[in-house]
Structure 1
Amino acid sequence: MHAVGENGGARVHPTAIVAPEAQLGRGVVIGPWCSVGPNVVIEDNVELISHVVVDGHTRLGAGSRYFPFSTVGMAPQDLKYKGEPTRCEVGARTVVREHVTIHRGTAVGSGLTHIGDDVLIMANAHVAHDCTLGDRVIIVNNVVMGGHVTIEDDARVMGSAAIHQFVRIGHAALVGGVAGVEADVIPYGSVLGNRARLVGLHWIWLRRNGVQSAEIHRMRKAFFTLYPKGASEDGPFAARLEVMRREFGDEPRVREILEFIDAPSRRGLVRVARGDFSTAETEGA
Structure 2
Amino acid sequence: MSLSIHPTAVIAAGADIDSSATVGPYAVIGPHVRIGARTSVGAHCVIEGHTSIGPDNRIFQFASLGAAPQDKKYAGEPTRLVIGARNTIREFCTFNTGTVQDAGVTTVGDDNWIMAYVHIAHDCVVGHQTILANNATLAGHVHIGDYAIIGGLTGIHQFCHVGAHAMAGFASHVSQDVPPFMMVDGNPLAVRGLNSEGLRRRGFSQARVAALKQAYRLLYRQGLTLEAALAAMGELIAADPNGIAAADLQRLHSFVAASQRGIAR
C-alpha distance after superposition, 1:102-152 (max 9, x if no partner): 000011121000000011110011000000000111100011111000001
Q: CA deviation at 1:43?
A: 0.8
TM-score normalised by length of structure 1: 0.88
1:246 and 2:235 are equivalent in the alignment = yes
Q: Secondary structure at the match of 2:106?
A: strand
Q: CA deviation at 1:236?
A: 2.3
* Counterpart-to-counterpart distance in 1, 2:248 and 2:40: 37
* Counterpart-to-counterpart distance in 1, 2:36 and 2:141: 26
Preserved CA contact (<8 Å) 1:114 1:133: yes
* Counterpart-to-counterpart distance in 1, 2:145 and 2:191: 17
| 1:275 match | none
1:172 and 2:172 are equivalent in the alignment = no
The CA RMSD measured in Å over matched residues stands at 1.3
C-alpha distance after superposition, 1:243-278 (max 9, x if no partner): 121024532211110011122x3311112xxxxxxx
Preserved CA contact (<8 Å) 1:167 1:267: yes
1:79 and 2:72 are equivalent in the alignment = yes
Moved more, 248-257 or 202-211: 248-257
Moved more, 59-68 or 9-18: 9-18
Long gaps (5+) in structure 1? 272-285
1:50 and 2:43 are equivalent in the alignment = yes
What is the 5 A alignment of 1:95-244? Answer: 95-228=88-221, 231=223, 235-244=224-233
Moved more, 240-249 or 66-75: 240-249
Percent identity between matched residues is 38
| 1:261 match | 256
Preserved CA contact (<8 Å) 2:21 2:36: yes
Q: Secondary structure at the match of 2:233?
A: helix
Question: Structure 2: which amino acid aligns with 1:132?
Answer: V
* Counterpart-to-counterpart distance in 1, 2:15 and 2:205: 48
* Match for residue 92 of structure 1 among 60, 85, 89: 85
Long gaps (5+) in structure 2? none
Preserved CA contact (<8 Å) 2:230 2:257: no
* Counterpart-to-counterpart distance in 2, 1:205 and 1:70: 29
Question: Structure 2: which amino acid aligns with 1:129?
Answer: H
1:64 and 2:57 are equivalent in the alignment = yes
Q: How many residues align?
A: 259
Question: Structure 2: which amino acid aligns with 1:240?
Answer: A
Question: Structure 2: which amino acid aligns with 1:215?
Answer: R
Preserved CA contact (<8 Å) 1:141 1:159: yes
* Match for residue 12 of structure 1 among 2, 5, 12: 5
* Counterpart-to-counterpart distance in 2, 1:257 and 1:38: 42
TM-score normalised by length of structure 2: 0.94
